[in-house]
Amino acid sequence: MIDLRKGDCLELIKDMRGDSVDISFTSPPYNRKRNDKYANFKDINDNWYQFNADVINELLRVTKGHVFYNLQANYYNRSDVYKLIGEFNENIVDIHIWEKSNPMPASGSSITNAVEYFIVMGDKSLKSNKTYTKNIITTSVNSKMPKEHKAVMKYEVAEHFISMFTKEHDIILDCFMGIGTTGVACVNLNRNFIGMELNDKYFEIAKARIDEAITAKQLTLF
């Protein structure tokens, strides 16, 4: 099952019944206050903290298992990221680190930001499908990204979390679908997928990428 929904994720999630998906895996916009990542979206939200808090509360309501919420602390959102971690401390069962092996170096003596966080929330401890699964994953940064969207989820990262912490035929929700990387990983790993995206351009790109993944998979079966 592939279910793609275009619109404001908060409004779309509110229409969903409780405990209707197995896992939520998503990455909200950075709120970098400048348009250097999205060609078709203004990354400015004056109440970014409250928006994310509202989204997380809705995800906790509709998700039976765990919510994996990807956050990167930057100059503009750092205090809000740490405030969110404090706000949901009772729901957090783990924090996984995505380490980037080739991050953009900071200028001068400033500290280079080489990590992003996956805040894992739920009401039960997190178990992996394999033994000795570390709470850190290291990859390179995407070297070639589409001009329309330069904050694309790394496929290897989505594949890692979905393969390690979900089962075949689970329903995975990505409420900030972007151009559909999580959906492609779900197709390849035999998971059901619900994707939500506000931007028309990104929605169409995601739909095309997921359709292409479905076609490629069908061809391998014959």
Domain CATH for 158: 3.40.50.150
pLDDT: which is higher, 124 or 44: 124
The answer to whether the beta carbons of residues 166 and 55 sit under 8 Å apart is: no
> C-alpha distances in angstroms, 128 versus 110, 135, 167?
36, 10, 10
**Which residues is 152 bridged to in the sheet?**
none
* Residues 85-129: tens digit of each pLDDT: 999 999 999 999 998 888 777 777 788 888 899 999 999 999 999
Q: Tell me what pLDDT residue 219 has.
A: 63
Q: What total number of domains does the chain contain?
A: 1
- Domain enclosing residue 145, as ranges: 2-220
- pLDDT at 50 > cutoff 60: yes
Q: Tell me what pLDDT residue 136 has.
A: 92
**Which residues is 24 bridged to in the sheet?**
67, 173
Q: Tell me what pLDDT residue 149 has.
A: 47
Instruction: Summarize the confidence of residues 201-207 as an average pLDDT.
Output: 91
- pLDDT at 37 > cutoff 70: no
Q: For the whole model, what pTM was predicted?
A: 0.87
Residue 93: other Cβ atoms inside 10 A: 14
Q: Tell me what pLDDT residue 39 has.
A: 56
* Residues 123-173: tens digit of each pLDDT: 999 999 999 999 998 988 765 555 554 456 789 999 999 999 999 999 999
The answer to whether the beta carbons of residues 2 and 211 sit under 8 Å apart is: no
Q: Tell me what pLDDT residue 42 has.
A: 62
- pLDDT at 40 > cutoff 80: no
* Residues 182-200: tens digit of each pLDDT: 999 999 999 999 999 988 8
Instruction: Summarize the confidence of residues 55-74 as an average pLDDT.
Output: 94
- The overall average pLDDT reported for the chain is 86
With a CB cutoff of 8 Å and minimum separation 6, the contacts of 71 are 27, 28, 81, 84, 116, 117, 118, 119
Instruction: Summarize the confidence of residues 47-63 as an average pLDDT.
Output: 93
Instruction: Summarize the confidence of residues 72-85 as an average pLDDT.
Output: 88
Phi then psi dihedrals of residue 79, to 5 deg = -65, -35
Q: What is the DSSP letter of 96?
A: E
